[in-house]
């Protein structure tokens, strides 16, 4: 007999549903978060993280690259634990506990306790969460608040109580304060309203609109800041849309990358969930799976189209990973017993991937060769900073000029150069959050650290090449820069900048 959409779903396999209890799941999640906290203290900061740390020193309602929530989280961590790698990353890592709780609660609302437990565990088994959440970036708060909004949508769907739209609005507003990816919650909600009658009825309810007003109110300080700063954050992020080019293989690369980052087995079960949602549309359980997948679809589709024009970075889809992990867990709890062995491998693979990620981040003994070293961007900055300070002293320079925000961030953070005035002279719009540099520096000797090929002759007087300066560990060179000394800088280097 052929199944139809009106037939019941395959029954859950009892062995898998009873395999991990609540207490064991809580201990596993706490252990994984604790492991990430330990690793955070040993893995050096990436240039982006050091740049975001600089943001946190000057709290603002907005920054050139992103909204402010990530900087606020770093500032809190530094206040609690100090200006070190652990303190900078601590709040982002600890947010994994809150994300797991949101996924668990969403799972209990839409499905049942076993699915909720599996969803929380599988969220931590996604490679981006297991390893990538170590980094202090705007993605961490965006993931959390997307999960909060998703919980609100689940409560709206299951309880029929309009007050839960306020939770949706709060999560959406805080998500936009974290990263502009949060804006895609709007299209996700509109899509739910379009395809589901139970959501469509809320168009006539004041609760839906109250949630929307709350979301705008929460995000409005960032929007007002942008309005007084030439809309720099929105222009920077949405300026990607105006880039030209066409890569026919871009979407394939996008899918393969996301397939790997989410944990391939979770991706398989998320796909199985989509099959269930289509094939058994009238089954009550698939309504929850469909709700999760509908909320994920706008961002997935947008980035798929965007991939034709520009490479999609792996972390751009991060806010959806808890949603997709829960949908995958629901599919695994629904599928026939033949899927049980595959489902049992998801968590071990996630934990194994986390361990390998830690090794790749720390690279003990520099055993990973450069061509295989995926974490090389974090290496050698302490030595690079020390060599830069040595050159500055030899050149009798009063300050250091950089041309790249990542080099600026690292030199401003590393102990060897932290007490020296460091100014990035390219792209000065990035640094509107900080007080302007002391104008007196313009007439003092300066050490310049530049990337090969960058033009500096119009910005400095009496440039003298000092040779290459390497970011390296031992004899392994990761990146080479050029060092120069100049007697002074020309007016305008601080505003609007060089280049």
What is the pLDDT tens value at each position of the chain, 499 positions in all? 333 334 445 554 433 454 688 999 999 999 999 999 999 999 999 999 999 999 999 999 999 999 999 999 999 999 999 999 999 999 999 999 999 999 999 999 999 999 999 999 999 999 989 999 999 999 999 999 999 999 999 999 999 999 999 999 999 999 999 999 999 999 999 999 999 999 999 999 999 999 999 999 999 999 999 999 889 998 888 876 656 678 888 889 989 989 988 999 999 999 999 999 988 877 777 899 999 999 999 999 999 988 888 888 888 999 999 999 999 999 999 888 889 999 999 999 999 999 999 999 999 888 888 888 889 999 999 999 999 999 999 999 999 999 999 999 999 999 999 999 999 999 899 998 999 999 999 999 999 999 999 999 899 999 999 999 999 998 899 999 999 999 999 999 998 888 6
What's the confidence (pLDDT) of residue 67?
Answer: 96
Give the CA distances from residue 483 to residues 373, 411, 454, in Å, rounded to whole numbers and listed in that order. 26, 14, 11
Say if residue 131 is exposed, middle or buried (CB neighbours under 10 Å; 0-12, 13-18, 19+): buried
Widest CA span of the chain, in angstroms? 86
Phi, psi (degrees; rounded to nearest 5) at 488: -165, 170
Number of H helices, E strands in the chain: 21, 7
What's the confidence (pLDDT) of residue 242?
Answer: 58
pTM (whole model) above 0.85: yes
Decide: 208 and 162 in contact? Cβ < 8 Å. yes
| Closest among 434, 457, 431, 460 to 446, alpha carbons compared | 460
Q: For residues 7-42, b (16+ Cβ closer than 10 Å) or e, as one string?
A: eebeebbeebbebbeeeebbebbeebbebbbebbee
The dihedral sign for the CA sequence 200, 201, 203, 206: negative
| Closest among 132, 123, 121 to 257, alpha carbons compared | 132
The dihedral sign for the CA sequence 477, 482, 485, 488: negative
What's the confidence (pLDDT) of residue 368?
Answer: 87
Neighbours of 112 (CB within 10 A): 16
Q: For residues 351-371, b (16+ Cβ closer than 10 Å) or e, as one string?
A: bebbeebbebbbbeeeebeee
d(CA 311, CA 300): 14
């Amino acid at each position: 007999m052929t199944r139809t959409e009106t037939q019941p779903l395959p029954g859950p396999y009892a062995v898998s549903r009873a395999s991990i209890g609540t207490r064991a799941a809580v201990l596993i999640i706490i252990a994984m978060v604790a492991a990430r906290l330990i690793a955070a203290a040993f893995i050096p900061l990436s240039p982006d993280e050091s740049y975001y740390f600089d943001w946190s020193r000057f709290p603002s309602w907005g920054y050139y690259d992103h909204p402010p929530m990530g900087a606020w989280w770093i500032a809190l961590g530094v206040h609690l634990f100090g200006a070190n790698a652990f303190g900078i990353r601590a709040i982002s890592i600890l947010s994994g506990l809150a994300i797991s709780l949101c996924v668990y609660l969403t799972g209990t609302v839409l499905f049942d306790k076993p699915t909720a437990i599996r969803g929380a565990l599988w969220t931590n088994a996604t490679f981006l969460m297991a390893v990538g959440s170590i980094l202090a970036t705007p993605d961490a708060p965006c993931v959390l608040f997307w999960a909060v909004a998703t919980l609100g949508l689940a409560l709206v769907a299951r309880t029929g109580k309009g007050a839960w739209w306020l939770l949706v609005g709060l999560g959406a507003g805080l998500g936009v304060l974290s990263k502009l990816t949060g804006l895609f919650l709007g299209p996700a909600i509109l899509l739910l309203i379009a395809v589901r009658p139970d959501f469509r009825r809320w168009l006539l309810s004041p609760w839906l609109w109250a949630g929307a007003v709350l979301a705008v109110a929460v995000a409005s300080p960032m929007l007002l800041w942008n309005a007084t700063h030439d809309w720099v954050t929105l222009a920077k992020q949405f300026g990607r849309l105006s880039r030209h080019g066409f890569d026919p293989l871009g979407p394939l690369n996008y899918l393969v990358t996301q397939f790997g980052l989410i944990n391939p087995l979770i991706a398989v079960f998320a796909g199985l969930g989509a099959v269930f949602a289509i094939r058994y549309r009238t089954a009550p359980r698939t309504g929850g799976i469909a709700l999760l997948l509908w909320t994920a679809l706008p961002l997935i589709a947008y980035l798929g189209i965007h991939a034709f024009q520009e490479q999609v970075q792996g972390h751009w889809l991060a806010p959806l990973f808890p949603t997709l992990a829960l949908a995958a867990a629901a599919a695994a709890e629904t599928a026939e017993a033949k899927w049980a062995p595959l489902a049992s491998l998801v968590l071990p693979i996630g934990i194994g991937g986390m361990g390998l990620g830690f090794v790749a981040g720390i690279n003990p003994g520099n055993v990973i060769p450069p061509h295989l070293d995926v974490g090389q961007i974090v290496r050698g900055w302490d030595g690079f900073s020390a060599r830069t300070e040595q050159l500055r002293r030899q050149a009798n320079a009063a300050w250091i000029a950089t041309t790249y925000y990542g080099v600026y961030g690292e030199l401003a953070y590393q102990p060897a150069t932290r007490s020296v005035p460091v100014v990035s002279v390219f792209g000065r719009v990035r640094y509107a959050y900080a007080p302007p540099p002391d104008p007196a520096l313009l007439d003092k000797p300066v050490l310049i650290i530049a990337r090969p090929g960058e033009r500096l002759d119009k910005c400095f007087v009496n440039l003298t090449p000092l040779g290459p300066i390497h970011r390296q560990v031992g004899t392994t060179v990761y990146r080479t820069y050029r060092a120069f000394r100049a007697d002074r800088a020309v007016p305008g280097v601080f505003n609007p900048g060089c280049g």
